[in-house]
Structure 1
Amino acid sequence: MQLELIRNATLKITYAGHVLLIDPYFAPRHSLPSFTGRSPNPMTELPRSTDEILGGVELVIVSHLHTDHFDAVAKERVTKSLPILCQPGDEGSIRDAGFIDVTPLADTTVWNGITITPRQGSHGLGPVIEKMGRVIGLTLAAPGEPTVYWAGDTVLYRPVIETIRQVSPDIIVTHSCGAKWDGDLIVMDAEQTVEVTRLAPEAIVVATHMEALDHATITRQDLRQTADATGVDPSRLLIPADGETLRLDK
């Protein structure tokens, strides 16, 4: 498989001969408001044009409707006829944006030989969940391909741990910027990401969703330093740059 980190959570994945785009966030640098007063968002520019990013895409997956996962520019630029999978409850809003082939991912779905299964996530713990709303992760499986667990916008908590243990994924994609909302952690930080490598000692962990938003607290360098200090093999924790493509085998 081939995994290209575009920016933030946006991934372009070539898997079982098909091209998937996850959580398109196409806003130009500094075109959206700050979350914390530190900087307008996003803090970085896209590494390539939206036309290049969308080239060859056959399926779009939208995990939730926060603007850094499906923004106004993406709603304008993504072809309205492309099939979209989303979490249950979001399909109406996506259809209202003009998309005509929208399917809620309520259960395991097979699309062109790829088995896509929704997985639980929690965008923080405690009262902050009411502000953040529902989110999902997912797993991908296909003959001859590595099993992928894309955890999504979640902290490390019991359902994520149970998914890792039950699925035994070959590849785990985490959101690891340590973003906080009103002081509460809403995605994984460095320590939780390192714990994922411990929970899945045979898996490759790919840390994404970093250095794009001003409520993040962990940089790529912070994560690497924490991982090195705890003895994580660098080949098992990959921290791609925006625009970087990884080729990952089973």
Structure 2
Amino acid sequence: MKIKQIRNATLIVTYAGKKFLIDPMLAEKGTYPPFPGTHNQHLNNPLVELPVSMEEILDVDAVIVTHIHLDHFDPVAMEIIPKNMKMFAQNEDEANQMKEAGFNNVEVLKEEGTLFGDITLTKTPAKHYSDDSIIELFHQLSTADEACGVVFSHADKKTLYVMGDTVWYDELKSVFAKYSPEVVVVNAGNAQFVDGRYLIMSKDDLFEAVKVAPNAQFVATHMEGVNHLMVSRKDLREYAVEKQFSDKLLIPADGETCEF
């Protein structure tokens, strides 16, 4: 298994002989305005350029979009990804949006598992907000289920859990208990509104996950890529040392590959 950090939440996962592009945000640096109501309103998104060629990014077998927010599936990705590419969406609403954009090989991930060759992709729950008042904002964005995670499983491979855009909450304990993932990808940049409400895992949230799965290896992503991310790689590295779990955490730089 290989996990290549591209930029922000965009990854290339090589698993059981297949390559998956996860949450592609493919625009050039500074293409989009900052997210409204969030920190760093002087910074346009994305904050950095892609570290690898578009040819490498598109050399995959399938694309998984955990949810259709700009920083996970942007207009450039919609335009540049081949329309016959195998696409996995979190629900029918987002699958239909992909089809309207011209994609003709779209499948909805299922909670009971979706087969892709001999790999099982299982949709898992995610809570993309720390406060219920954020839900209405997502409804305005026409996002039905906010976000999801995905478990990758195969008879002969380690189980991988890509948690997606979520905060830590009790229901995630059941995901860890059911699948016992050996590798866990965490969106750990702690995206925030200026009032402190947050959208993805904080440092403390990540520590809760580590305590639930002490034998797993964690990989931190969704960091330093868009304006409202408030935890840097340096911040998280120092926190992991303080809390004594740095041996369980990898924090890849853009363009870096982790191998398991």
Class of the TM-score when normalised by the shorter of the 2 chains: over 0.9
Partner of 1:96: 100
Check if 1:54 corresponds to 2:54: no
Q: 2:122 aligns with which of 99, 117, 123?
A: 117
- TM-score of the pair, normalised by structure 1: 0.95
CA–CA distance in structure 2, aligned partners of residues 245 and 130 of structure 1: 37
TM-score by length of 2: 0.92
Secondary structure of 1:185's aligned partner: coil
Partner of 2:109: 105
Deviations 1:30-72 (A, max 9, x none): 11101231311111110012112112x0111111110110011
Report the equivalent of 1:240.
252
Which residues in structure 2 correspond to 1:5-154 (within 5 Å)? 5-35=5-35, 36=38, 37-55=41-59, 57-88=60-91, 89-107=93-111, 108-125=113-130, 126-132=132-138, 133=143, 134-154=146-166
Q: State whether residues 151 and 160 of structure 1, in contact with CA within 8 Å, keep that contact through their aligned partners in structure 2.
A: no
Cα deviations by residue, 1:87-141 (Å, 9 ceiling, x for unpaired): 1120111001110011111331111100110000011131112323421111000
Query: AA paired with 1:164?
Result: F
Asked if the contact 1:5/1:245 (under 8 Å) is kept, the reply is yes
Partner of 1:189: 202
Aligned length: 246
Instruction: Measure how far apart 1:196 and its partner are.
Output: 1.3
The one of 163, 170, 178 equivalent to 1:166 is 178
Cα distance in 2, alignment partners of residues 115 and 150 from structure 1? 13
Does the 8 Å CA contact 1:50/1:77 hold for their aligned counterparts? no
Give the structure with the larger strand fraction: 1
Among 226, 230, 234, the alignment partner of 1:217 is: 230
Describe the SS at the equivalent of 1:227: helix
Q: What is the CA–CA distance in structure 2 between the aligned matches of 1:147 and 1:98, rounded to whole Å?
A: 32
1:231 aligned partner, one-letter code: Q
Q: Distance in 2 between matches of 1:130 and 1:175?
A: 22
Structure 2: gaps (5+ residues):
none
Moved over 6 A (4+): none
Distance 2:230 2:57 in 1: 27
Q: Is the 8 A contact 1:197 1:237 kept in 2?
A: no
Unaligned runs of 5+ in 1: none
In 1, Cα distance between equivalents of 2:161 and 2:222: 15
> Identity of paired residues, percent?
39
- Once the two structures are superposed, residues 182-212 of structure 1 have per-residue CA deviations (whole angstroms, 9 ceiling, x without a partner) of 5311100111112211110000010100001
CA contact (8 A) 1:180 1:186 kept: yes
